[in-house]
A and B are shown apart, each in its own frame.
Chain A
């Protein structure tokens, strides 16, 4: 329950990009991967809202469809953007945890 609630507040863009760093995936595989990673339950509407935006911004590319399912792959620009955002999030997380006394 707690992990689900935390998951919902996370940025959908980061989740999708992180999922695609493990290799090209189609829509359903991305949903299942994110569910396993964070416990966040994605609907197809939310997922495709993100996929369309990422594709338009050039952060992912669509690969040829296989049996109705079209896999997506993260691009070099997408990897760079994800790295930058994760580093920024890690910095904030480290400072927050230090102030909370959770880490030394």
Chain B
């Protein structure tokens, strides 16, 4: 009984606030009546959760006021950008870890396997290097899809960075009560990136291989530096990157839920959410192409000396594709809702009311 009661209460709390204010009391009366006639509380609660999710997604019956629609736009923007922030680090970890081999010699990885300015080259013994090594069509597809993922990541990062700047400007302009704490939260992503860059520079200075000297017999002795400090900085980088990533996502969710921003910031947020969902969808397509191409490459017989790319984390392709597919769906849903909410605000000029 108590479990069922809690479950029904939880289900009723899943409804949006405006819905509970309008229908909450009468809904409770219906639930009480149904319970008194012996209807299963768990079944009732499941139906309520389903309807609560529908109410949140479709906002049917929501009063068309600027406050409610602006809140819906903000949370929809967060719902479309948070999946990108949550999933893309894993995507980069899986597609970015690679080994390129050739029977001709050592390989220096570049284009078309990584987004750099340099081509992949093979260094043959005796100082000779091959600038245009042979590469199969499937290996080329693998490389290009990896680069697409990396390019989309960088592009979306820039878009989100600009969006964050617009959000900060909107928070400052709106002058709401909680703007100071909300403003501080928006600094977390940039502080994390700056911290990581600083630590990386510090680590490279502290590493003793910066002070290496070559002896006459061909051996190299590394002297100076502080390897322990460099290792500590390396660990600190991991801590800051994971902590900053988590706090950035939580911060964005809090800001989206609590802060008031002007209409033009909402419009910009809508654009950012649409672009993010497009980027995530294209990343999903690139991942599928990448996974299929690796399978095809692994079944081929290779020409002697040709480049062959192997990815140690390729086994995670399918779970990654499923997770990315879900993230895509959430992001598209968020962007669609952001567009609809903004359209209602804009068509009825609700900010004047």
Contact = CB atoms under 8 A, between A and B. Distances in A.
Interface stretch (A1-9, A16-24, A40-48, A89-97): A40-48
A43 B39 CA distance: 9
A34 interface: no
Interface of B: 19, 23, 25-31, 33-34, 43-44, 47-52, 54-55, 60-61
A70 B26 contact: yes
Nearest to A49: B51
Contact of A52 (B31, B50, B55): B55
A68 to B, nearest CB: 4
Contacts of B19: 52
B34 A44 contact: yes
B47 A28 contact: no
B47 A44 contact: yes
B29 A46 contact: no
A48 B60 contact: no
Interface of A is mostly: helix
B44 A68 contact: no
Residue of B26, B33, B60 contacting most chain A CB atoms (<10 Å): B26
A27 B26 contact: yes
Interface in A67-91: 67-70
Given A43-B47, A68-B26, A49 B31 contact: no
A53 interface: yes
Given A44-B27, A44-B30, A52 B44 contact: no
Contacts of B28: 68
A65 B26 contact: yes
B33 A43 contact: no
B23 A47 contact: no
Contacts of B29: 26-28, 67-69
B66 to A, nearest CB: 19
A78 to B, nearest CB: 16
A4 to B, nearest CB: 15
A68 B25 contact: yes
Contacts of B61: 52-53, 55-56
B48 A44 contact: yes
A3 to B, nearest CB: 19
A70 B54 CA distance: 22
Nearest to A46: B47
Contacts of B27: 27, 44, 48
A31 interface: yes
Nearest to B11: A45
20 contacts: A26-B29, A26-B30, A27-B29, A28-B29, A28-B30, A31-B30, A43-B48, A44-B27, A44-B30, A44-B34, A44-B48, A45-B51, A46-B51, A48-B23, A48-B51, A52-B61, A53-B60, A67-B29, A69-B29, A70-B26
B43 A43 contact: yes
A56 B62 CA distance: 9
Top 9 nearest A-B pairs by Cβ distance? A45-B51, A43-B47, A45-B47, A52-B61, A27-B30, A68-B29, A28-B33, A70-B26, A45-B48
Given A26-B30, A28-B29, 13 more contacts: A26-B29, A27-B30, A31-B34, A43-B47, A44-B27, A44-B44, A44-B47, A45-B44, A49-B55, A52-B19, A56-B61, A68-B28, A69-B30
